[in-house]
């Protein structure tokens, strides 16, 4: 590579907008660009130029803010799949003629389906795969936290839901806030999904002492990733939360309980054993009932329900009668008394109420 061309790609890299998905990448590791797009796999880093603005008109940057996108912008993003029932389904594939921006956090691939309300995805023209000094593709997995064993002694609460946009993240943030106000050091972990800073920042804003997601375990997206890899990621992120001094961790699983990786994880006894209890977020009473049945099939009885259903008192009443479970709105989850008591109800330090009542 000539000095002239070397300067050229270095200038492009430094001028590019680095997406949130690349936040752990060390820029100095980039030693060149490659054009073997066909070999790209999930997590590989790509320099690309914005060719057409579509549904995602902004890119979430690694510094935590969003940047408007303009045609001609250079971006550094990661190749990955996406599963988002309200947006796109896409696979981890880079094609020389163009790639789709599947998520504003910086996940690109080939869209193969979209929600009826979504415009076509923003298109990018690949400029080159980021390579290290040995000519190897730089992948997010290189920057993952070291694998660690699942720690003992943590209180771990799982948040699962009926679907995307059922109110999981809002419920997690509220619960994190309540547990924080109850005096505990609390971590929030987004275990599955596609890299984005919305949830990450919501957890921080709620008062989480430690926040992490699957990107910290080396993945841009968990869709189509081996379940064992996601399970190892859980253990690693829990260990990181423990090392950060946290006593309680709230773990959010993206999408709904029918999503393939989520369903596989929930049916895995070793995975479930990491959790002291689950809260299930639903948008309406029927999805509350249906979700509870799905969870029951996986051996899970949630301790409480939450989510968008809380907007409708009638739906709350229906769900409470049909499931026998309390439906807890955000205000309740934010209450240190209620959050602390819910935590204790899950961590099993007490016998059932019937044993208490003489």
Partner 1 sequence: MLSAAKLHSHDVPGDLKGLSICFSPAVKGVRPACWIGVPARPAGSVPLVVVHGIQRDARGTFELFSGYAASTGRVLIAPLFDEAGWKGYQRVLGARRADLGLLEILGALRSEGVLTERRIELFGYSAGAQFAHRFALMHPQWVDSATVCAAGWYLFPDMMPYPRGLGVPERPMSGYTGFIAANLPDFLRLPIRVVVGDQDDAIDEFTRSNEALDLQQGRTRLERARNWVTALGGAAARVGVPSAAVLEILPDCGHDLRQCLQSGAMPDFIPDVAPGMDAGRQADTVVSIVRGGQYE
Q: Which stretch binds partner 1 (CB under 8 A): 91-99, 145-153, 165-173, 348-356?
A: 348-356
Contacts with partner 1, 102-131, as mask; x by CB under 8 A: ------------------------------
Q: Which stretch binds partner 1 (CB under 8 A): 70-78, 103-111, 162-170, 346-354?
A: 346-354
> Site residues for partner 1, window 151-190 (CB under 8 A)?
181-184
Q: Does 324 bind partner 1 (CB under 8 A)?
A: no
Closest CB 325 distance from partner 1, rounded Å:
11
Contacts of residue 294, Cβ cutoff 8 Å, sequence gap at least 6: 257, 258, 263
By the 10 Å C-beta count (0-12 exposed, 13-18 middle, 19+ buried), 82 is classed as: buried
> Site residues for partner 1, window 12-71 (CB under 8 A)?
none
Q: Does 269 bind partner 1 (CB under 8 A)?
A: no
**Residue 174 DSSP label:** H
Closest CB 337 distance from partner 1, rounded Å:
5
Residue 7 or 337: which CB sits closer to partner 1? 337
Strands (E), the chain: 17-18, 32-34, 45-52, 58-60, 66-68, 74-79, 82-83, 88-91, 99-103, 107-114, 122-131, 155-161, 186-190, 210-213, 248-252, 277-281, 304-306
- CB atoms under 10 Å from CB of 174, counted, come to 24
Q: Does 353 bind partner 1 (CB under 8 A)?
A: yes
Residue 61 or 154: which CB sits closer to partner 1? 154
Please work out the total of residues on this chain that contact partner 1, with binding judged by CB under 8 A: 23
Q: Which stretch binds partner 1 (CB under 8 A): 40-48, 213-221, 255-263, 344-352?
A: 344-352
Q: Does 338 bind partner 1 (CB under 8 A)?
A: yes
Q: Which of 50, 157, 230, 332 touches partner 1 (CB under 8 A)?
A: 332
By the 10 Å C-beta count (0-12 exposed, 13-18 middle, 19+ buried), 148 is classed as: middle
| Run of H or E including 294 | helix 285-297
Asked whether 40 and 55 are in contact (CB, 8 A), the reply is no
Dihedral sign (CA 138, 139, 145, 146): negative
Q: Does 342 bind partner 1 (CB under 8 A)?
A: yes
Residues at the site binding partner 1, with contacts judged by CB under 8 A: 181-184, 326, 332, 335-338, 340-342, 344-345, 349-351, 353, 355-358
């Amino acid at each position: 590579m000539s000095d002239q061309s070397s300067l050229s790609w270095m200038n492009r890299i430094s001028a590019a907008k680095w997406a949130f998905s690349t936040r752990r990448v060390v820029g100095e590791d980039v030693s060149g660009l490659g054009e073997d797009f066909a070999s790209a796999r999930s997590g590989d880093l790509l320099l690309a130029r914005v060719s057409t603005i579509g549904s995602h008109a902004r890119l979430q940057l690694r510094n935590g803010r969003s940047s408007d996108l303009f045609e001609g912008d250079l971006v550094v993003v990661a190749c990955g799949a996406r599963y988002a029932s309200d947006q796109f389904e896409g696979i981890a594939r880079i094609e020389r003629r163009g790639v789709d921006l599947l998520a504003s956090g910086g996940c690109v691939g080939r869209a193969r389906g979209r929600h009826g309300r979504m415009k076509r995805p923003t298109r990018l023209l690949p400029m080159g795969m980021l390579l290290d000094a040995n000519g190897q593709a730089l992948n997010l997995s290189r920057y993952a936290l070291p694998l660690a064993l699942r720690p003992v002694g943590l209180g771990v609460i799982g948040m699962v839901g009926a679907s995307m946009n059922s109110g999981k993240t809002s419920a997690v943030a509220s619960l994190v806030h309540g547990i924080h106000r109850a005096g505990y050091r609390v971590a929030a972990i987004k275990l599955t999904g596609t890299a984005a800073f919305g949830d990450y920042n919501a957890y921080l804003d709620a008062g989480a002492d430690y926040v992490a997601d699957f990107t910290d375990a080396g993945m841009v997206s968990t869709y189509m990733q081996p379940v064992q890899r996601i399970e190892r990621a859980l253990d690693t992120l829990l260990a990181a939360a423990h090392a950060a001094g946290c006593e309680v961790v709230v773990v959010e699983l993206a999408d709904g309980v029918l999503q393939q990786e989520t369903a596989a994880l929930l049916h895995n006894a070793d995975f479930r054993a990491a959790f002291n209890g689950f809260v299930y977020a639903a948008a309406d009473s029927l999805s509350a009932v249906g979700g509870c049945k799905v969870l029951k099939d996986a051996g899970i009885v949630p301790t409480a329900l939450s989510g968008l259903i809380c907007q409708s008192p009638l739906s709350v009443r229906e769900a409470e009668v049909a499931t026998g479970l309390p439906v807890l709105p955000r205000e309740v989850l934010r209450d240190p008394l209620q959050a602390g008591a819910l935590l204790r109800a899950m961590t099993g330090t007490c016998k059932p109420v019937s044993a208490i009542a003489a």
